[in-house]
Amino acid sequence: MESNTAVVENQDINFASFSVENRKFDPFSVLDGHYIGHDGFVVPRNFEEFHERFPEYVRNWFKRHAGRSTPVEDVEDGTQDLLIYLRYLPTASKHREAGKEDVVQTFDPQKHYGASSARFFNYINLCLANKFRSMHSNGSKTRCAVPATCR
């Protein structure tokens, strides 16, 4: 019986030649201390400017990630925790040495391949997701939904 598949010689593949990320830089400019992306998006300079321009962003983000059954009080508490996180860098942060005071100021378009709206909000979403996971992880260890079963 003959096989219906052709014999193929094994070929070495150099995976280092395959790009894992989109390393193409989007052009951006700097005007009055603001990064301006190729799409015309002006990156907020600090947390105050971010919160002034996008006041419901963190709340909406938290509501999307917390789940529908999350009580209103927990949404408010979680939103406030995330806002505080974005507003104040930890005292031991390496960014403080560079004179930065909040997470929004730590956005670097060189490291994120540009300053477009998508790249900036991706950075903010990553920061929020990291903090959200650590809040959830810490909360699940200290709180118990059914106290009688926690010992």
Q: Given CA atoms 111, 51, 35, 64 in this order, what sign does their dihedral have?
A: positive
Structure tokens at 64: 């999307």
Q: DSSP code of 145?
A: S
Domains of the chain listed by start with CATH number: 24-136 (1.10.1740)
- Kind and range of the H or E run holding 62: helix 57-66
What own/partner pairs with CB < 8 Å and gap ≥ 24 does 71-77 have? none
Residue 31, token pair as written in the block? 């005007």
Distance CA 26, CA 39 (A): 9
In tens, the pLDDT along 79-120 reads 999 999 999 998 888 999 989 999 999 999 999 898 999 999
Decide: 119 and 112 in contact? Cβ < 8 Å: yes
- Give the pair of three-digit tokens for residue 138: 């810490």
User: Which whole number is the average pLDDT over 45-63?
Assistant: 96
pTM for the model stands at: 0.74
Report yes or no: 133 and 127 within 8 Å, Cβ to Cβ.
no
| 84/68 Cα distance (integer angstroms) | 23
Q: How many CB atoms lie within 10 A of CB 76?
A: 12
Contact between 99 and 23 under an 8 Å Cβ cutoff? The reply is no
Distance, CA of 6 to CA of 11 (rounded, Å): 15
**61-90: pLDDT as tens digits:** 999 998 888 899 999 999 999 999 999 998
Say if residue 46's pLDDT is above 90.
Answer: yes
Q: Residue 3 pLDDT > 70, yes or no?
A: no
DSSP run (H or E) holding 121:
helix 117-142
